[in-house]
Amino acid sequence: MSGPVMIGHLLLEKLARREQIRVPEADLIMQQQDQIAAFAASGRDQGILAYIYLFHAVMALPVIRPGDTVLDLACGPANQLAQMAQLNPDTHFIGVDASPNMLELARGTSANAGLSNVTLQPGDITRLAGFADASVDCAICTMSLHHLPDTAALAATLREIGRVLKPDGGIYLADFGRLRRTATQRFFAYDRQELQSQQFTEDFLNSMRAAFSPAEFRTALAASGRQIDYYATALAPFMMIGRSPARRTLDDSLTQQVQRAYAGLTAGQRRDFNNFTRWFKAGGLELPSPVR
Ligand SMILES: C[S@@+](CC[C@H](N)C(=O)[O-])C[C@H]1O[C@@H](n2cnc3c(N)ncnc32)[C@H](O)[C@@H]1O
């Protein structure tokens, strides 16, 4: 993810005035086995999303404390959840998803990784039934908000986050932003098509079309009633992050864990991780811990 063609698309995004109309995902809740298998594979070992999961796990570290109960909203196959649970072994994670098939996969991910600090349960993130007011320490949600039907559901989710979080709770939300040109959307969906399944490429393009705009995302962040700072990749909001202020500083042992996880990526994934890090840094968000 880099190069002159990408820079060209980003510059044209910057100049584009008109927003694309949002096209919601056909499958809001992901239940189709071929679709969820393709998505799950993209986040494992050699998968195209593996570096993004490490990136979010590192970016979320400042808002997660040992001893916390962390809610992962719409956890999907739990690739992100597993990465975070490994980096935060003294934190309990609860993954919630509305898809029974996804939860089945997530149970496998958690068992294969030998995680004892993860539980998984069915649930709708727009109505966090079963979670009492001020009962969790942290809420995270990665690459899932674009699966909501509309801005009303997005605002409802953020209100629920505000309700279930303790007063000093942490928040980390990351999702694609809606780009202004269909050509840029297609560029990102097809950029690495040789490394991803056809199914994943189609889903990626659908995600780009279903993404909320930065304005829609920021309006929803305010509905939480919490302080959440907004960041995005420079020049164009390929990805947006909402993160609450830091709740801890990272010690040496955690920094070393991050380095080991980074070393476990392939050379290509490390390159993607570094480029993605530079792209966010140019957009105003730096890694909380040096990674090389
Ligand atoms: C693209 S996946 C992302 C999963 C995961 N967060 C990740 O980063 O890999 C989106 C997930 O959102 C789930 N989902 C969609 N709408 C939901 C809702 N209202 N409540 C709970 N889960 C939902 C889908 O079933 C799917 O598992």
For the chain, percent helix, then strand, then coil, each to nearest 5?
Answer: 45, 15, 35
For residue 53, the ligand 1 atom closest to its alpha carbon is: 8
From CA 52, how far away is CA 75, in angstroms rounded? 15
Is beta strand 165-176 parallel, antiparallel or unpaired with respect to 136-142? Answer: parallel
- Topology of 4-282 in CATH? Rossmann fold (3.40.50)
Length of the chain: 292
Is beta strand 165-176 parallel, antiparallel or unpaired with respect to 239-243? Answer: antiparallel
45-49, 140-144, 189-193: range with lowest mean pLDDT: 45-49
In the chain, what are the domain boundaries?
Answer: 4-282
From CA 88, how far away is CA 66, in angstroms rounded? 7
pTM to 2 decimal places: 0.97
Strand partners, 92: 69
Protein residue with least CA distance to atom 18, ligand 1 = 124
Tens digit of pLDDT for each residue in 130-176?
999 999 999 999 999 999 999 999 999 999 999 999 999 999 999 99
Pocket of ligand 1 (CB under 6 A): 28-30, 39, 43, 74-76, 79-80, 97-99, 102, 124-126, 142-144, 147
pLDDT tier, 125 (very low <50, low <70, confident <90, very high otherwise): very high
Q: Which of 132, 128, 103, 131 is nearest to 118 (CA)?
A: 103
Per-residue pLDDT, 84: 98
Which run of H or E residues covers position 100?
Answer: helix 100-112
> For residue 16, how far is its CA from the centre of ligand 1 (angstroms)?
30
> For residue 286, how far is its CA from the centre of ligand 1 (angstroms)?
26
Looking from the CA of 134 toward its CB, the CA atoms found within 13 Å total: 3
> For residue 170, how far is its CA from the centre of ligand 1 (angstroms)?
20
Protein residue with least CA distance to atom 1, ligand 1 = 144
Q: Which of 25, 36, 144, 154 to mutate to test ligand 1, by most ligand atoms within 8 A of the CB atom?
A: 144
Q: Give yes or no for residue 1 having a pLDDT over 70.
A: no
Is beta strand 136-142 parallel, antiparallel or unpaired with respect to 118-122? Answer: unpaired
Strand partners, 231: 241
Average pLDDT over the chain, rounded to an integer: 95
- In this structure, are residues 164 and 157 in contact, taking their beta carbons and an 8 Å threshold? no
Tens digit of pLDDT for each residue in 228-285?
999 999 999 999 999 999 999 999 999 999 999 999 999 999 999 999 999 999 999 9
> For residue 144, how far is its CA from the centre of ligand 1 (angstroms)?
5
- In this structure, are residues 24 and 186 in contact, taking their beta carbons and an 8 Å threshold? no
Tens digit of pLDDT for each residue in 14-41?
999 999 999 999 999 999 998 898 888 8
Per-residue pLDDT, 200: 87
